[in-house]
Amino acid sequence: MIEGKEGMTGQCQRLNTSSTKILLIEDSHFDILKAKEMIAEAKSAQFDVELECAGNLESGLARLAMGGIEAVLLDLGLTDSHGLNTLVRVNAQALGVPIIVLTGIEDEKLATEAVNKGAQDYLVKSQVDSNLLKRSILYAIERKRLEKVREEFSDIISHELRTPLSMIKESITLMLDRVPGEINEQQSRILSISKENIDRLARLINDLLDMSTIESGKLVLIKKRLEVLNLIKEAVSIFEARAKEKGLELRINHPERSVEIYADEDKIIQVLIILIDNAIKFTSKGYIEINILDLQHGVEISVEDTGMGISKKDLPRVFDKFTQFGRESGPGKKGTGLGLSIAMGIMKLHRGEFWVKSELGRGTIFAFSLAKLKAEKIFR
């Protein structure tokens, strides 16, 4: 047992040597007894829990460091820590252990912030009974288990599929270049189709990995001062040949003075590539225009096209995963339906805004904005 303040030791007893170990970080004698009673009442063959207690944050962190805990019940108001900082510190020490906030504070905004900072659930003490507590613990443990499975699957994709795919693509490229010897027209066509499908599979793998990294909170931004026009020129250069092939005009509309943002260069270019790629894909004539607006409190960047547009009923789902609108059958580059979800995730990490305006048959505008940061804020 972990000893908290004033005889806290021993109030939570061992139920079974093979049971699931739950750590309750709580400094109220009454609430500890109540939690113990609810868990004892909910105990069954499917819910065999051993409850351990820590009377303050430091003793809770010490117990977590020892390992063996499968879930944490956490009060946000402790003698040595208060508020969301308590959750942040426990989450940093927990290393994948699910955390359920069990607090007396009924506040929807706080609950949302707690979940955003890593809590699996947010329970208000006055509203909790044994069944709700049991369900929350079981669901939290299962969700964490599934997250671990997903992460392991992503690792398998990354390490086990990328290398052989690259080797297959390289072999096909060598054959198409006639390095091993001559091939006829039919063989060339079949190999070209195979290469296109390998490219599409590689894009899907990369998009799945990007989405998984964003959703797991493992994406780290490397921010610096960036000149916006240079970023856009770099992204546009990738698509110049493709736009020319379709007869589309690529335009950049920008202020005369230099406009800077503070952001991750690679990730902002990735967002631009996703938006320009979509615009070209769904525009058969006209232009693609990238606009830079230098506003008082931020910088707005938009990608406007004269393409097929999106219907009103489809607009609310445009940022959903694996969603594609207006996709045509037949050969050609196909998307994964993850691009806009990835772009939205990157914008959220930058604390920026991202939106779309579109009308069926009259084109689409995707835009995002980033707040301007003064030098002292960037330094901090």
Least confident of 172-181, 215-224, 230-239: 215-224
Give me the mean pLDDT over the 305-318 stretch: 88
In this predicted structure, what is the pLDDT of residue 6?
41
In this predicted structure, what is the pLDDT of residue 14?
41
In this predicted structure, what is the pLDDT of residue 207?
79
Residue 322's pLDDT band (cuts 50, 70, 90): low
- The three-state DSSP-derived secondary structure of the chain is CCCCCCCCCCCCCCCCCCCEEEEEECCCHHHHHHHHHHHHHHCCCCCCEEEEEECCHHHHHHHHHHCCCCEEEECCEECCEECHHHHHHHHHHHCCCCEEEEECCCCHHHHHHHHHCCCCEEEEHHHCCHHHHHHHHHHHHHHHHHHHHHHHHHHHHHHHHHHHHHHHHHHHHHHHCCCCCCCCHHHHHHHHHHHHHHHHHHHHHHHHHHHHHHHCCCCCCCEEEEEHHHHHHHHHHHHHHHHHHHCCEEEEECCCCCCEEEEEHHHHHHHHHHHHHHHHHCCCCCEEEEEEEECCCEEEEEEEECCCCCCCCCHHHCCCCCCCCCCCCCCCCCCCCCHHHHHHHHHHHCCCEEEEEECCCCCEEEEEEEECCCHHHHHC
326: pLDDT strictly greater than 80: no
In this predicted structure, what is the pLDDT of residue 379?
59
Across the chain, mean pLDDT equals 84
Least confident of 71-80, 143-152, 267-276: 143-152
In this predicted structure, what is the pLDDT of residue 158?
67
Least confident of 27-31, 144-148, 152-156, 368-372: 152-156
pTM here is 0.59
Quick: pLDDT tens for 111-158.
Answer: 998 988 889 999 999 999 999 999 999 998 888 888 778 777 776 766
